[in-house]
Chain A
């Protein structure tokens, strides 16, 4: 199956080359979406002749990822994998991630940090609680279980690529899309994520709380405005 790895990149000049190199062993196609970086990321992509798409405006994570899905749709890829450009997602898990799609057991596969104990995954109390609340809310709305609602390490089959290339949320894309395609078969596989090697994580306790409250609001508005039965 033709597989594409989508790597959003915003100011990742220190880690983007390493991330792409880690994919070489996996023998999959990739595309880096440079989301209007203000550092030397674009230069790194050009000098190393990497496969990249440069966005003139900074669209944010949702807009960048959707560009990758549009590229995957245009190029007729069967599977599209999202992978962060900061090196936290481990390319060795790609095989595990695409297996359920190859076996036609899932439309979307999420690399989950909570199925097995991950010694590298360190997060704040608020962030853990936030993810737990989102997961509980999701279960309550859809009757289905997703433990890692915020994981950005995901693989999508052709039907989901089609949906995402047409409609993808620009804010809080992971939890919101989990809800919008809850009628599809979503499976989690255990992954371990690497520690961030370069740069600083921008997540603070306040941001975690703000994120969670916003996602809950998004969920409520989406449910009311669409009037769909998510348990159907």
Chain B
């Protein structure tokens, strides 16, 4: 991989990592949800500078080229993130339903007490 590509990619990824941290600071992204993206960003930067190691890994797994191995790892990462998001949505859905029900029951009690 040419050095210019490495440098440009590293800069882009560093900007991305800073953006993730900025979102954590402004509380738009929770620390828990930022971890996967930070690990991903740092891992990709390490990969850029460890191509021979990746080649060995690709040979070991039986993947023809390093780029295919990276695509494969990226795919697995995205599936993991998607599953985590689905799980979070399911949990939040349950919480929203519970809150709506409890709010409605509480309103009913308050209205009843007001009438008295």
Contact = CB atoms under 8 A, between A and B. Distances in A.
Chains A and B come from one and the same complex = yes
Interface of A: 53-57, 59, 63, 66-67, 70-71, 74, 170
Chain B's interface size range is 10 to 19
Closest 3 CB pairs of A and B: A67-B101, A57-B100, A63-B97
A57 B105 contact: no
Interface of B: 96-97, 100-105, 107-108
Contacts of A170: 97
Contacts of B108: 53, 71
A74 to B, nearest CB: 7
A74 B103 CA distance: 14
A70 B106 CA distance: 11
B103 A56 contact: yes
B111 to A, nearest CB: 10
B75 to A, nearest CB: 25
Contacts of A56: 100, 103-104
A54 B105 contact: no
B105 A71 contact: yes
Given A56-B104, A74-B105, 15 more contacts: A53-B104, A53-B105, A53-B107, A53-B108, A55-B104, A56-B103, A57-B100, A59-B97, A59-B100, A63-B97, A66-B97, A67-B104, A70-B101, A70-B102, A70-B105
Nearest to A36: B100
A115 to B, nearest CB: 33
B101 A54 contact: no
B104 A54 contact: yes
Instruction: Give the most central of B96, B97, B103, B104: most A CB within 10 Å.
Output: B104
B103 to A, nearest CB: 7
